[in-house]
Structure 1
Amino acid sequence: MLEQQEDRSRDRTAVELFAGGGGLAMAVERAGFRPLLFNEVAKRACETLEANGAKERGDEEWIPEPGSPWPLFSRDIRTLDMRYLSGKVDVLAGGPPCQPFSLGGIAKGDEDKRNMFPEMFRAVREIQPKAVICENVVGLRRKSFEPYFQYILNELSFPYLERRPDTTWQEHDRLLREYDAALKDGRAVDPSGGFELYDVLATTVNAADYGVPQVRNRVIIVAFRRDLGVDMKEFMRSVRPTHSQAALIRSMRDGEYWERHPSVPDHVRDRVMAGLPKQASLAIEDGLLPWLTFRDALAGLDGEPSLPPVPWEHLDRKERYLGGVTNHIGWPGARIYKGHTPNELDRPAKTVKAGVHGVPGGESVMLTDDRFRDSTAPGGWAYRHRYMTVRETARVMTFPDTWVLEGPRGEQMRQLGNAVPVRLGEVFAKAVASALDKAGDAP
């Protein structure tokens, strides 16, 4: 189940749209926001949410009491009327489907029917939350999509200026820009006193810079209702990176990293150390923690136990509850090929991807510490590789081992690839909670 907060001075509330497998929802709840509604349409993702505490609500509109199951609307968001939540929500969170902007997809952008940003805008109009957290792929910042990206920020700033059905987004964007200019130079006055306007910021982040053992570049958009008077500059300072690659390399050079992992074979350590960049190329920033690696994730974060290795004879798709956890299942057929290099244990994992057809080939392959003689390999040795298990993948997405994932392996991997890493989402959700507190907001 989502982790209940035992000591809340405020009953903060949240709505999660496009919830997927629950990464951002879990992050927002950990930050002290009680969920009032989930929306997700994918069948297996809905099963995952229900397995972790949500309950299908159907057509009935109801607001849960603290400790009650969280309502799940499992149909097309375009059929969901959210006006019953108006004035009751502190944070609206969600990651609209990213395929329209993904570098790995067709990238039709705003012309793609899967673009759900218009529904995010509608939700803001109907709910009028105090804050909005929106996550998406870094492809949204591609040069070809930049005009539409700026339109997203403008629409979130003035959500009540609804786009007419007979206008293009470019025409509506022009109206929004003109209104913004008129407000700034005094030619227009906001009749709501800021209650329906939002201060919006967007930042591009690498999840590894926030304690996630994975290189994952994303765009995070945060908006605060203007009447609350949130200090946006202070908020940006509160979400600055906390970890760095340079600090990881330094910890390897001074031995601290290897002290945490004393069982690493000498040949692995020697190989990793030989591949480190030269000292002169590092920009050391004092106060930043080392990036966490794939090996760190397997050893356990947040008090989790170490995951045991998968025996080579167990690559047979059978669940054996290795280490007492589920979904730690060996899978056959892993291969390395051009353009799909494997994950290495002593680096952050590569970006976990959903894949068009589930597990995306070599992207979910890992090198192990086991090696064998190979005269064609450098040094005469080659390292064995296998597919990452679902549980290992969940670890690098910072999902707790207690989180239940439903569906076959491919669907579980798809849910993880589409999710927001819990630790990354938690950093921003906690910063939003703090900003609301400092603004003197009353829930």
Structure 2
Amino acid sequence: MRSLELFAGAGGLAIGMARAGFQHAAVIEWDHDACETFRENQRHHAHAVEGWPVHEVDASQFDYSSLGSDISVISGGPPCQPFSMGGKHRGNQDERDMFPEAVRAVRELRPQAFIFENVKGLKRESFTSYFSYILLQLQYPEISRATNEEWAVHRDRLEQHHSANKAAATYNVLFDVLNAADFGVPQKRERVFIVGFRSDLGARWSFPSPTHSSDALLVSKWIQKDYWEEHEVPKARRPEPPERLSTRIERLRSSPPLLIAKRWRTTRDALLGLPDPEVDLDNVIPNHLFTPGARTYAGHTGSKLDEPAKTLKAGYHGVPGGENMFVKDDGGVRYFTVRESARLQTFPDEYEFHGSWSQTIRQLGNAVPVRLAEMVARSVANSLRACPDRGGQ
């Protein structure tokens, strides 16, 4: 199935889509460093991006008619700064809001399905009206916004059409907030996914169920204690269970759950097998260089080794919660290397990143975890293959 990747960034969602069986007809990204990351990996024949047609262009300038009429799925992460907790919260008033371009692509290509991802902040109360507007546009992409029409006026037209419409919407749209840690990503990263299927296909789909759980990690660490043995952590270096979790741990101990899901993966899991770049300065692993200067202060504490990492962010030295550093076994802190950050985002080790540490951390902080992207994309692919009416494009 052919696909279009918009706002590709460093390629997390695009790689997940490819792993799920989609073939990219075009990968669109305007940022030069991110495009150089694609090109560098293609020069090295990295399997993850082999043969991708990468277009370094603003999505608003791309001619979708050049792709033909058989695009099965459009995917992408419209720039999230307008809705990010760390941004200026300007939403639709921010010139970086690219949701209108996502809607244009759906309108012009009429794919069988789409997958869009964004920050959890998109669902904040202050953006409620605009979020509903995004969903309405994706349900009825053919009802386009007129030149100079205010977005609120366009939303009113869409609401009136929706309330009076006796037929199905053009696209059946679902959304949910997914925590990447629940799907085997060693990072607590909550993101909004918006998924739509063209209504004439008769697709049956729901969001994939979590495969990993925090309860399973608590059992592994504090009840069965096999987590510590797996990582060969001596008893003297094992921390005590946090007091805030004591009641929950006792509940799990007295009533052991039927753990169908695997345990959450931790920062220690992600770093397994990588040499310490602060000690091994001669290591030859790409993107695995030590960056000095990490320090703690109030509210800036870094990620704990034996929990999923905090949400990796696009900033570098100045991120407020210390999300781009971690606490070592000796209590000190250091910044994640680019390779370690890529592990947190579940990029393959063969995948290299172009640019300085700050530029590559920005690419990674904006990325969709590859594993999470693959799971959502695979569920969409399976539903499309099972559609009774999929033959009608």
- Tell me whether the two structures share a fold, i.e. TM-score over 0.5: yes
Q: 2:97 aligns with which of 115, 122, 133?
A: 115
2:183 equivalent in structure 1:
210
Contact 1:13 1:36 in 2 (8 A): yes
Q: Does 1:424 align with 2:383?
A: no
- TM-score w.r.t. the length of structure 1 is 0.81
Structure 1 pair 31–85 and aligned structure 2 pair: CA distance change class (3 A) = same
CA offset digits 1:147-197 (Å, max 9, x no partner): 11011111000001111013211111111122122223xxxx57xxx7xx1
Q: 2:201 aligns with which of 228, 242, 251?
A: 228
Q: Does 1:387 align with 2:369?
A: no
2:304 equivalent in structure 1:
344
CA offset digits 1:174-222 (Å, max 9, x no partner): 11122122223xxxx57xxx7xx11100001111011100000110000
- 1:332 is displaced (CA, Å) by 1.0
- 1:86 is displaced (CA, Å) by 4.4
Structure 1 pair 70–310 and aligned structure 2 pair: CA distance change class (3 A) = closer
Q: Does 1:173 align with 2:152?
A: no
Tell which structure's C-alpha radius of gyration is larger.
1
Please tell me the residue identity of whatever aligns with 2:214.
Answer: Q
1:84 equivalent in structure 2:
66
Q: 1:360 aligns with which of 295, 319, 331?
A: 319
Q: Does 1:254 align with 2:212?
A: no
- 1:368 is displaced (CA, Å) by 1.2
Please tell me the residue identity of whatever aligns with 1:226.
Answer: S
In the alignment, the residues of structure 2 paired with residue 291 and residue 130 of structure 1 have an alpha-carbon distance, to the nearest angstrom, of: 33
SS in 2 for 1:125: helix
- 1:418 is displaced (CA, Å) by 0.4
In the alignment, the residues of structure 1 paired with residue 100 and residue 287 of structure 2 have an alpha-carbon distance, to the nearest angstrom, of: 36
Q: Does 1:270 align with 2:239?
A: yes
2:346 equivalent in structure 1:
398
**Percent identity between the aligned chains?**
44
1:295-374 map, 5 Å: 295-299=268-272, 306-312=273-279, 320=282, 322=283, 324-355=284-315, 360=319, 362-370=322-330
Contact 2:118 2:192 in 1 (8 A): yes
CA offset digits 1:212-257 (Å, max 9, x no partner): 000001100001111111114xx23xx1212111111011121221
Structure 1 pair 310–272 and aligned structure 2 pair: CA distance change class (3 A) = farther
Structure 1 pair 386–98 and aligned structure 2 pair: CA distance change class (3 A) = same
In the alignment, the residues of structure 2 paired with residue 409 and residue 425 of structure 1 have an alpha-carbon distance, to the nearest angstrom, of: 24
Q: 1:244 aligns with which of 213, 216, 221?
A: 213
1:74-223 map, 5 Å: 74-184=56-166, 197-223=170-196
Q: 1:48 aligns with which of 4, 24, 37?
A: 37
- TM-score w.r.t. the length of structure 2 is 0.91
Contact 1:247 1:291 in 2 (8 A): yes
Please tell me the residue identity of whatever aligns with 1:310.
Answer: P
SS in 1 for 2:81: coil
Which structure 2 segments of 5+ residues have no match? 44-48
- 1:272 is displaced (CA, Å) by 5.0
Contact 2:326 2:333 in 1 (8 A): yes
SS in 2 for 1:15: strand
2:46 equivalent in structure 1:
none
Contact 1:359 1:413 in 2 (8 A): no
Contact 2:287 2:352 in 1 (8 A): no
Please tell me the residue identity of whatever aligns with 2:41.
Answer: N
In the alignment, the residues of structure 1 paired with residue 53 and residue 214 of structure 2 have an alpha-carbon distance, to the nearest angstrom, of: 41
Structure possessing the higher relative contact order (Cα contacts under 8 Å, 6 or more residues apart): 2
- 1:280 is displaced (CA, Å) by 4.7
Which structure 1 segments of 5+ residues have no match? 1-11, 55-66, 300-305, 371-382
In the alignment, the residues of structure 1 paired with residue 318 and residue 26 of structure 2 have an alpha-carbon distance, to the nearest angstrom, of: 29
Q: Name the count of aligned residue pairs.
A: 380
2:384 equivalent in structure 1:
436
In the alignment, the residues of structure 1 paired with residue 246 and residue 214 of structure 2 have an alpha-carbon distance, to the nearest angstrom, of: 11
In the alignment, the residues of structure 2 paired with residue 369 and residue 213 of structure 1 have an alpha-carbon distance, to the nearest angstrom, of: 18
Contact 1:47 1:406 in 2 (8 A): yes
Structure 1 pair 281–163 and aligned structure 2 pair: CA distance change class (3 A) = farther
In the alignment, the residues of structure 2 paired with residue 20 and residue 260 of structure 1 have an alpha-carbon distance, to the nearest angstrom, of: 35
Please tell me the residue identity of whatever aligns with 1:369.
Answer: D
SS in 2 for 1:354: coil
- 1:108 is displaced (CA, Å) by 0.2
SS in 2 for 1:218: strand
Contact 1:41 1:75 in 2 (8 A): yes
Structure 1 pair 111–384 and aligned structure 2 pair: CA distance change class (3 A) = same
In the alignment, the residues of structure 1 paired with residue 345 and residue 356 of structure 2 have an alpha-carbon distance, to the nearest angstrom, of: 18
**RMSD of aligned alpha carbons:** 2.1
Contact 1:86 1:129 in 2 (8 A): no
- 1:69 is displaced (CA, Å) by 2.6
Structure 1 pair 341–15 and aligned structure 2 pair: CA distance change class (3 A) = same
Please tell me the residue identity of whatever aligns with 1:94.
Answer: G
In the alignment, the residues of structure 2 paired with residue 74 and residue 117 of structure 1 have an alpha-carbon distance, to the nearest angstrom, of: 19
SS in 2 for 1:53: helix
- 1:343 is displaced (CA, Å) by 1.1
- 1:286 is displaced (CA, Å) by 3.5
